[in-house]
Amino acid sequence: MSERDLYLMYLPQIAEMVVSCQQMTQEDYEQWKQETLQLVPNEANDFMQKVFAVVDMYSGHRKASNDLHMETYVCAATE
């Protein structure tokens, strides 16, 4: 299974993460990210960093530096 397939399979859960994170303060959000990363197996760390890039952008906690959609970044990284 490619990273893109994995991303698409978990897209509903990623969308739920975005909605949950929109309700968090910046401090709570950063703490949640750190705690989550500690639970992620090493093999999935790169993928989760890409998921966090999407969550960062769409939750409002960080702005993207350009107008490209982050999904393109995640999906194109393994193609």
In whole angstroms, give the CA distance from residue 40 to residue 19: 21
Q: Answer whether 0.75 is exceeded by the pTM.
A: no
User: Residues 3-54: pLDDT tens digits?
Assistant: 999 999 999 999 999 999 999 999 999 999 999 999 999 999 999 999 999 9
Task: Decide if 76 contacts 54 (C-beta within 8 A).
Answer: no
Nearest to 17 by CA among 56, 68, 62: 56
Nearest to 30 by CA among 7, 56, 9, 51: 56
Domain boundaries, the chain: 3-76
Q: Which amino acid is at 62?
A: R
